Structures are given as C-alpha cells and as structure tokens.
Structure 1
Amino acid sequence: MSLKAEVDLLIAAYKEPVSIYMYHANKLVYSHLAHEQLPAASVIKLAILATQLTRHEDLEQVIDVSNTPQVGGAGVLHLLDQSKWTIQDLLKLMITVSDNYAANVMIDHLSMAAINQWLAQNSYQETQLQRRLMDTEAVKAGRENVISAADALRLFRYLLKTFPQTQNWFLNQQFRGKLPLTMDETTADVQIYNKTGEGPFVDHDVARFTKNGQSMDVAVLTNGFTDRLAVISMMAAIGQLIYRAL
C-alpha cells in the first residue's frame, strides 16, 4: 500500500477534519485540506522567527523583556529573574521550549504589523498574527492567530533551508509527543526536527524526518478533536508511516 493510501485510511477513521501537507525532498506527495485556515497556536512562532531572521539584525542585541507583560503557559522565561536577554536567546527559547513570553517579547520588538506585512509580502496568505500569545481577552473579542498546513510547512522548510542555525533549535525542541512520539527514545537511525502547537481542541505538529540521506517534511494540523489521546495517537501513527516510507 502506498504512503498516500495508508494516510488516507488512517485519517478516515476520524470524523473531525485533519489538514495535512507533505513533501518528500522537493516533491509534494500528500495534501488534504492543506489550505484550510485553523487556529495557529504556537505554530505562529514560525512566522515570528522568519520575520526576525530575515531582518538580519545583530542577534546579540539585548532586549529588556520587562517591557512586555509576562504570560504563562509553555516556556520558562517568566520563571527566571534575568530581565535582559539577547535576541538569539529569546528566539531559542521561543522554539526549543515554545516560550510564550519570549514570543510576545519578539512580537513587541518587531511589531504585529511588521510580521503581517512580511507574511503578505512573501505570499503567506493563509497566515495572520492577530494577537499576542495567551491573550485571552483578544480571543474573547474574536481575534485569533491563524495558519494553514501549507503555509506552516512552507515556513518551516524556508527556515531550515535559509537559516541553518535553526536546525539545531528544531532538532532539540522539547515537545516531542506527537509526530515523533514513538521514535525519540527507541529509534537511532532517524532525526526529527519539529515544532508543535496546542490549545483548546487544537493540536498541530510540523516536522522533518531525515533517514538514510532522505528527508520527508510534513505538517499535520487539527482542530475540534475532543479526544486528545485520539489525535496524538493519529499523529504518532503518521510519524510511523513516514519513518517506514523512508
């Protein structure tokens, strides 16, 4: 059975829609609802990262994070006493531990308008940054960050190709419980670079699997699953299918 047929069979078991976009090297090999806009959750951090790195600022520039209100959720920055951090360290925190506070500091540094302008200028038409991370009042007012599987994967591939320093950040990203779930501790012949996102009834993962000199890139975005164990199990199964296909 082909990879496409296996993925089709896997996702057919769920009534909730699943958005998937998949490349093997530079060939599109799978697309399902890939241009649907969904709540972005932490996958929006790919857009923040891309905007910052394309500015080619000195990444050793220091920012006083105390000028941005603290938020909780994922990350450690709000637990630390140090108030001044380099841009590079903030970006690393934003990716490796999905730090929401660091992401908001970078939004304030860049401006929301500048991030959206970069997205529009680079044809990411299904992605918009409309609020800071963990801004519950903005959510109540109907402002949501959105992205599609196609945009998420294109951002991810662009970052890995154009800014090699990010490869180590994605490879050492600490949230590994979705697409890489069954492989990190048991499989030595594959490297998995990824960035997850999650929120109420939202689970996403964008990843690159590299094995035997070949790579497969995939974005899996979900929204509306009330059974979180089911969606995580589905993502882990997709990861296994990709591993076997390589």
Structure 2
Amino acid sequence: MSLKAELDLIIAAYKEPISICMYHTNELFYSHLDHEQLPAASVIKLAILATQLNRQEDLDQVIDVSNTPQVGGAGVLQLLDQPEWTIKDLLKLMITVSDNYAANVMIDHLSMATINQWLAQNNYQETQLQRRLMDTAAVKDGRENVISAADALRLFRYLLKTFPQTRNWFLNQQFRGKLPLTMDETATDVQIYNKTGEGPFVDHDVARFSKNGQSIDVAVLTDGFTDRLAVISMMAEIGQLIYRAL
C-alpha cells in the first residue's frame, strides 16, 4: 500500500478534523484540509522566529526580560534568576524547550504588529498572532493565534533553508512525543527536526525526516480530539509511515 493510501486510511478512522501538509523534497506530496485555520498553540513560535531572523538584528543584543510579565507552561526561563539574555538565547529557548516566557519577550521586543506585518507581506494569509502565549483572558475575549498546516510547514521549511543556525535548534527540540515518538533515540539512521504545539484539545507537530539523502517534511495539526492518547498514537503512526517510506 502506498504512503498516500495509508494516510487516507488513518484520516478516515477519525471524525475529528486532521490537517496535513506533506512535501517529499520540494514537491507537494500529500495534503488534507491543509489551508484550514486552527488554534496555533506553540507552532506560532515559527512566525516569531522568522520575523526576528529577517530583521538581521544583532542576535547577541541583550534584552531585559523582567519588562515582560512571567508566564507558566512550557519552558525554563520563568525559573531562572538571570534578568538579561541575548536574543539568540531567547530564540533557542523558544524553540528547544518551547519556552512561553521567552516567546512573549520576543513578541514584546518585535511587537505583534511587526510580526503580523511580516506574515502579511510574505503571504502567510492563514496565520495571525493575536495574543501573547498563555494569555487566557485574551482567549476568553475571542483573540486566538491561528495557523494552517500549509502555512506552518512553509514557515518551517523556510527557516531550515534560509537560516541554517535553526537546524540544530529543531534537531535538539525537547518535545519529541508526537511524530518522532516511536523512533526518537532508537532509529539512528534518521534525523528528525521538529516543533510541536499543544493546548486544550489541540495537538500539532511540524517535522522534517531526513534519511538516506532524502527528506519528507510534514505538518500535522489537530483540533477537537478529546482522547489525547488517540491523537498522539495517530501522529506516531504517521511518523512511522514516513520513516518506512524514506
């Protein structure tokens, strides 16, 4: 059975929407609801990262993080006493440990307007930053960060191609329990670069699988799954299918 047919079977087993965009090298290989806007969760950090790196600012510039209110959730910055950090280290934290506080510091440094302007200018029409991370009051007011699988994958591929320093950040990203779940630390013949996102009934993963000189890039976005074990199992199965297809 082909990879496309197996993906169709996986999707058919669930009534909840699953958005998928997949490229084999530079060709669109598979898509399903890939332009549907969903809550972005931490995948919005790809937009923050792309905007910052495009400014060609000195990444060794120091920022006083105490000017941004601390938030919880993923990350370690909230637990550390050091008040000043370089932009580069904040970006690394934002990607490798999905640090929400670091992301909010970067949003304040850039401004939401600047990030949304960059997205609009570069034709990311299905992605919008409308609140800081962990801002539950904004969510209650109806302001949500949104993204599509197509936009998420295009952002991810753009970052890997244009800014080589990010490859090591995505390769060493610490949240590996979705697409790479069954092969992380066990399959030595594949490199997996990824960035996850999660929230209430939301689970996403955007990844590159590289093996034998070939690569498959994929974004899998979900919303509305009440059974989180089911969605994680589904993503792990997709990861295995990709691994076997390479």
Both proteins in one fold, TM over 0.5? yes
2-structure distance, mates of 1:130, 1:162: 26
- 1:20 matches 2:28: no
- Percentage of pairs with the same residue: 89
Q: Which amino acid aligns with 2:241?
A: L
| Structure 1: runs of 5 or more not aligned | none
Q: How does 1:42-121 map to 2 (within 5 A)?
A: 42-121=42-121
Q: Which amino acid aligns with 1:2?
A: S
2-structure distance, mates of 1:185, 1:80: 28
2-structure distance, mates of 1:67, 1:98: 20
Query: SS of the residue aligned with 2:119?
Result: helix
Q: How does 1:134-173 map to 2 (within 5 A)?
A: 134-173=134-173
Q: Normalized against structure 2, the TM-score is what?
A: 1.00
State how many pairs are aligned.
246
2-structure distance, mates of 1:70, 1:17: 33
Q: Which residue of 2 aligns with 1:238?
A: 238
- 1:40 matches 2:16: no
2-structure distance, mates of 1:186, 1:132: 36
Query: SS of the residue aligned with 2:95?
Result: helix
Q: Which amino acid aligns with 2:20?
A: I
1-structure distance, mates of 2:80, 2:29: 44
Deviations 1:105-159 (A, max 9, x none): 0000000000000000000000000000000000000000000000000000000
1-structure distance, mates of 2:104, 2:187: 35
2-structure distance, mates of 1:238, 1:83: 41
2-structure distance, mates of 1:47, 1:63: 20
Q: Normalized against structure 1, the TM-score is what?
A: 1.00
- 1:6 matches 2:6: yes
Q: How does 1:169-208 map to 2 (within 5 A)?
A: 169-208=169-208
Q: Give the deviation of 1:185 after TM superposition.
A: 2.1
Q: Give the RMSD, CA atoms, in angstroms.
A: 0.3
Q: Which moved more, 1:179-188 or 1:96-105?
A: 179-188
Q: Which residue of 2 aligns with 1:122?
A: 122
Q: Give the deviation of 1:2 after TM superposition.
A: 1.0
Query: SS of the residue aligned with 2:82?
Result: coil
Query: SS of the residue aligned with 2:128?
Result: coil
Q: Give the deviation of 1:197 after TM superposition.
A: 0.1
Q: Give the deviation of 1:230 after TM superposition.
A: 0.1
Q: How does 1:217-236 map to 2 (within 5 A)?
A: 217-236=217-236
2-structure distance, mates of 1:139, 1:10: 31
1-structure distance, mates of 2:78, 2:72: 7
1-structure distance, mates of 2:126, 2:45: 15
Query: SS of the residue aligned with 1:180?
Result: coil
Q: Which residue of 2 aligns with 1:211?
A: 211
Q: Which amino acid aligns with 2:87?
A: I
Structure 1 residue runs of 4 or more that deviate by more than 3 Å after TM superposition = none
Query: SS of the residue aligned with 2:42?
Result: helix
